[in-house]
Amino acid sequence: MERTPAQLGVCPTLVPVMEQTTDELASAFRRYSRYVAAVALKLLGRDDEIDDVVQEVFLAALRGLGRLREPEAIKGWLATVTVRVASRKLRRRRLRAWVGLDRPPDYASLVAPGVPADERALLARVYRLLDELPVKERLAWTLRHVEGERLDAVAQICGCSLATAKRRVAAAQAALDRALDDEVKP
């Protein structure tokens, strides 16, 4: 049974504000939760943490939605929050792997049914290589090359300058190129 703020004993003057915020959040969730999940999946490379990311993003939205100056900017703002949450998840994942608490990832869930085996193998290899990159480089590269964001959007979403976004994407690309070239050479 869902209880209203008034039933929970909230100060009567805050009830209209809370109900409006709850309605806005529910509307944002219905409209953007799949978008947040898709971005998170591409950033993280596996689906076992997606529900947690979506939940954390919309908890942050509960706190910050009312402070958003331009309501039409919500999608970009949610992408930025998603990147921050994914960044924390990737750092924790790296720490868990370092101490032997994280299981090896299965990147099969990223591939649509019917994709040829060689493409499936390449995608899995790229995500394994992304696991080795610094988190900020991984996020910038993934936003640029997997999510298809423009460099200025990558900079905005990552909370850095355009020059820094370019450096991160280039560094990640160089590392991927080196690793993939090493595999091809005899």
The CATH number linked to 158 is 1.10.10.10
pTM more than 0.85: no
Whether 67 and 116 map to the same domain: the answer is no
Total domains, the chain = 2
> Is 155 inside a domain boundary?
yes
> Is 4 inside a domain boundary?
no
25 pLDDT higher than 80:
no
Whether 115 and 186 map to the same domain: the answer is yes
Whether 71 and 150 map to the same domain: the answer is no
Beta-carbon contacts of residue 131 (< 8 Å; ≥ 6 apart): 45, 94, 105, 138
> Is 1 inside a domain boundary?
no
140 pLDDT higher than 70:
yes
Instruction: Give pLDDT tens digits for 100-109.
Output: 777 767 776 6
**Final residue of a structural domain among 51, 68, 103:** 103
> Is 45 inside a domain boundary?
yes
pLDDT at 66: 67
In CATH, what number is assigned to the domain containing residue 65? Answer: 1.10.1740.10
Is residue 44 within 8 A of residue 50, CB to CB? The reply is: yes
Is residue 82 within 8 A of residue 40, CB to CB? The reply is: yes
Per the prediction, the chain carries an average pLDDT of: 82
Q: Which two tokens stand for residue 122?
A: 């390449």
How far, in Å, are 11, 34, 89, 144 from residue 20 at the CA level? Answer: 15, 22, 31, 35
Is residue 86 within 8 A of residue 40, CB to CB? The reply is: yes
**Final residue of a structural domain among 81, 103, 125:** 103
Beta-carbon contacts of residue 167 (< 8 Å; ≥ 6 apart): none
Residue 18 identity (one-letter amino acid): M
Alpha helices for the chain (secondary structure H): 15-44, 50-64, 74-98, 117-132, 135-145, 151-158, 162-184
pLDDT at 112: 74
Whether 70 and 117 map to the same domain: the answer is no
Is residue 3 within 8 A of residue 20, CB to CB? The reply is: no
Q: Which pLDDT band holds residue 8 (cuts at 50, 70, 90)?
A: very low
7 pLDDT higher than 60:
no
In percent, the amount of the chain with pLDDT more than 90 equals 44
**Final residue of a structural domain among 103, 132, 167:** 103
Whether 97 and 118 map to the same domain: the answer is no
| 182 compared with 45, residue with greater pLDDT | 45
Q: Which two tokens stand for residue 92?
A: 């924790």
43 pLDDT higher than 50:
yes
Whether 96 and 131 map to the same domain: the answer is no
In terms of residue numbers, what domain contains 181? 106-186
> Is 23 inside a domain boundary?
yes
